[in-house]
Amino acid sequence: MIPIKDNIPSDRMPVVTLGLIAINVVAYLLTVVHGGSLLGGPSAAELAKYGAIPYQLTNAGAHTGLRETIPAWETVFTSMFVHASIIQLAGNMLFLWIFGNTIEDSLGHLRFIGFYLLSGIVAMGLQVAAEPNSISPTIGAAGAIGGVLGGYTLLYLRARVLTFTFIILFFTVIEVPVAWMLGIWFGLQALFVAAGLTNPAPGSAWIAYFAGLGSFAFGAATVRLVATSRKPIPPPRPVY
């Protein structure tokens, strides 16, 4: 089951969502060029350079023995655009496209940028609060996307997602409830954690996973404060 798009039409071009996807893709390519491989992902040095390290954020000027060429506060933002593998990148960008364009339509371009970045900051803040002395870099767009999913859930829980489905030798396209996609998203993030694609330290990775849940809650709690419109939800397509 591969999600394609939701059933809520957009009124305007989702330029911010497309821009965020482009930045993530370019960031991935640049990091693998400087160390790593396209399929295998960036090197450990590149992840340490651009990932957010809680110990550095809570101890100004602290040295961890890792590659340090940019200020720690900048990694709060750079870490949102760095991914450990092309699989993690593809999964995150797919869900950002499906749900981000609808939320961007409801919030407007500028509000959506702020909402997205703030969701990522909230997730990182929870990660740092849970493990202030961790020296393992945290990476990935999951925290920011978690906020987008939380906002989408509150505004459009009854929406449906068009998915490409494979059943034995039969291919078809069907609409499924948003709740199914949310389950797939959180399951996918759990697989990323298990594979070490969000944080090199296993314990820290699971904390980052729950920090993503925190950003989901943040998105659900705050989206109504910034949403300028809420589009009607089309009825499900009939199944023949």
**Does residue 142 belong to any structural domain of this protein?**
yes
Give the integer Cα–Cα distance in Å for 189 and 31: 21
State the CATH number of the domain containing residue 173.
1.20.1540.10
pLDDT of residue 240: 41
**Does residue 232 belong to any structural domain of this protein?**
no
pLDDT of residue 239: 47
Give the integer Cα–Cα distance in Å for 94 and 111: 21
**Does residue 238 belong to any structural domain of this protein?**
no
Give the integer Cα–Cα distance in Å for 62 and 7: 49
**Does residue 135 belong to any structural domain of this protein?**
yes
Tens digit of each residue's pLDDT (9 = 90 or more) over 9-34: 888 899 999 999 999 999 999 999 98
Q: What is the total count of domains within the chain?
A: 1
Instruction: Give the contacts of 150 (CB within 8 A, at least 6 positions apart).
Output: 119, 215, 216, 217, 218, 219, 220, 221, 223
pTM exceeds cut of 0.85? yes
**Segments forming the whole domain that contains residue 134:** 2-226
**Does residue 204 belong to any structural domain of this protein?**
yes
**Does residue 55 belong to any structural domain of this protein?**
yes
Tens digit of each residue's pLDDT (9 = 90 or more) over 154-179: 999 989 988 877 766 667 777 888 88
Higher pLDDT pick, 171 / 151: 151
pLDDT of residue 137: 86
Q: How far is residue 174 from each of residues 98, 167, 184, 223, 236, measured CA to CA in Å?
A: 15, 12, 16, 28, 10
The tokens describing 10, both together, are 């957009």
**Does residue 19 belong to any structural domain of this protein?**
yes
Q: Other CB atoms closer than 10 Å to residue 214's CB: what's the count?
A: 21
**Does residue 239 belong to any structural domain of this protein?**
no
Cα-only R_g, the chain: 18
**Sorting pLDDT into bands at 50, 70 and 90, what band is 200?**
low
- Which strands make up the sheet holding 170-177, listed edge to edge? 2-6, 160-167, 170-177
Q: Report phi then psi at 202, rounded to 5.
A: -55, -50
Q: Which range among 54-63, 80-89, 98-107, 146-155 shows the weakest confidence by mean pLDDT?
A: 54-63
